[in-house]
Amino acid sequence: MRATVGLILLAVIGVGVGISLLAIPFGAPKTEIGDYYIENAREDTGATNVVTSVVVGYRAFDTLGEVTVLFVAALGLGAVLATAGGKRGRSGVEPASLILSAGNIFLFPLILLFGAYIFTHGHLTPGGGFQGGAVIASAFLLVYLSSPGKRINESGATLTESVSGLVFVAIGLLGLTYGTHYFLANFLPKGTLNTLFSAGIIPVIYCAIGLKVGSELAGVVDNLMEETE
Amino acid sequence: MTEKVGRTAPRARDIIHLLLVLFITWLMLTSSLHWQEVTMGAFLSLVLALFLARSYGRLGLPPLSLIRVWRLGVYFLVLFAEIVKANIDVAYRVLHPRLPINPGIVVITTELSQDVAKVLLANSITLTPGTFTLDIQGDKLLIHWINVKSEDTAEATRLIAGRFEKHLKAVFA
């Protein structure tokens, strides 16, 4: 009985979904904006990576909002996890084995370089500031795992985070003074397509985002590690 | 590894060593010799090298030379061949109806003195299917082995580490 009811319900849902899907022509784009980006993004922004030209070009203001959301989230986490006694070193934690500690010293610079590679090439290859920042934060996570007593240089992280946030906003404000006069307008030369120094303000913004996200996530990891006591 | 880092200036040798390692890595990542890529790579490598050379120097890596890079390349080829062989061996054990395994933990010793060399050996053993490095204590490595052929330290060392140690010694000599 239950099986029959189930089958009937399944058939009803199936027919319903089928009818509504039949109304949509298969493979036809539903909006025109995507075509516009694919056709014009390279001339408009100078970025080879169309996704980046949307994220940091056409919709850069939206990205500024996203960066702010991440900042508020990190701030909130810090407020929730902050201990009353202030920050203490994690004593009494066993040191990591040689494999982790020696491996960390060797890999740490290479991971940072890889993170920087990802965010400096955001306009050319897949990736960008957020991804590069996450890679950089993972390098700091490795440091915490290999030497549990170590703490992040908090003033350094805050400084990096604030300065890169300010750079993003300052670039946006400079756009107001130039040419078309809108927030985050491109005021730098677009350069030759598919070279590193091209796409105007996009790589500069992505470098700022990379450093900002990296220092923010490293701070988040630092806050979480503190609770292991 | 000591926790407190002395506030001494990093040695020039360590800076140049790290700078070269980073810059070569950058060239491999970008696979481009365009002047803009090279400039950016040199800048980033220099900044990172200046900041991180002090802790990097504690690794005590041997000086970079072409012959060492060549020997490292040879080592990676040997490692690759061993990984292929071990894969076939483990696949045979998994697919065999009677599952001929004899898992256990053995201790092996290494003659390598540098920490990085020991870590490289430990990671090579882990990368090879069937053997897994659990920990390093001084010159002893603790290995989990899918098919323990010998519990004797010298014999286990010969069977597990012998394949790699000769080439690693050449790299770090």
Contacts for B99 with CB less than 8 Å, ≥ 6 apart? B93
* Regions of chain B short of the pLDDT cut 70: 1-8
Q: Edge-to-edge, what's the strand order for the sheet holding B104-109?
A: B104-109, B140-145, B131-137
For residue B49, the chain A residues in CB contact (below 8 A) are: 109
pLDDT at A89: 55
Does residue B74 share a domain with residue B31?
A: no
Does residue B96 share a domain with residue B46?
A: no
Question: Do the Cβ atoms of A113 and B45 come within 8 Å?
Answer: yes
| ipTM (interface pTM) | 0.83
Question: Is residue B2 in a domain?
Answer: no
Does residue B112 share a domain with residue B27?
A: no
Question: Is residue B141 in a domain?
Answer: yes
Q: Nearest chain A Cα to B4, which residue?
A: A150
pLDDT at A90: 57
Does residue B121 share a domain with residue B84?
A: yes
pLDDT at B152: 84
Q: What percent of chain A is modeled with pLDDT above 90?
A: 20
Question: Is residue B145 in a domain?
Answer: yes
Does residue B49 share a domain with residue B133?
A: no
For residue A147, the chain B residues in CB contact (below 8 A) are: 1, 3
Does residue B38 share a domain with residue B70?
A: no
Question: Is residue B84 in a domain?
Answer: yes
Q: What percent of chain A is modeled with pLDDT above 70?
A: 92
Does residue B122 share a domain with residue B43?
A: no
Residue ranges of alpha helices (H) inside A1-128 are: 2-22, 33-45, 50-52, 60-81, 98-120
Nearest chain B Cα distance for residue A79, angstroms? 28
Domain that holds residue B31: 12-57
Range with the largest mean pLDDT of A25-39, A71-85, A156-170, B55-69 = A156-170
Question: Is residue B5 in a domain?
Answer: no
Q: Which of A99, A101, A105 sits opposite B56 (nearest CB)?
A: A105
Question: Do the Cβ atoms of B36 and A195 come within 8 Å?
Answer: yes
Question: Is residue B3 in a domain?
Answer: no
Does residue B75 share a domain with residue B28?
A: no
Q: What is the mean pLDDT of residues A201-225?
A: 87
Does residue B78 share a domain with residue B45?
A: no
Amino acid letter, residue A121: H
Does residue B31 share a domain with residue B79?
A: no
Question: Is residue B79 in a domain?
Answer: yes
Grade residue A44 by pLDDT with cuts at 50, 70 and 90: confident
Give chain A's mean pLDDT. 84
**B114-145 burial code (b ≥16 CB/10 A, e <16):** bbbbbbbbbebbeebbbbbbeebeeeebbbbb
Q: Does A79 score more than 80 pLDDT?
A: yes
pLDDT at A113: 93
Q: Residue B143: enclosing H or E segment and its boundaries?
A: strand B140-145
DSSP letter for B102, please: B
Does residue B79 share a domain with residue B29?
A: no
- State the total domains in chain B: 2
Does residue B139 share a domain with residue B120?
A: yes
pLDDT at A84: 53
pLDDT at A49: 87
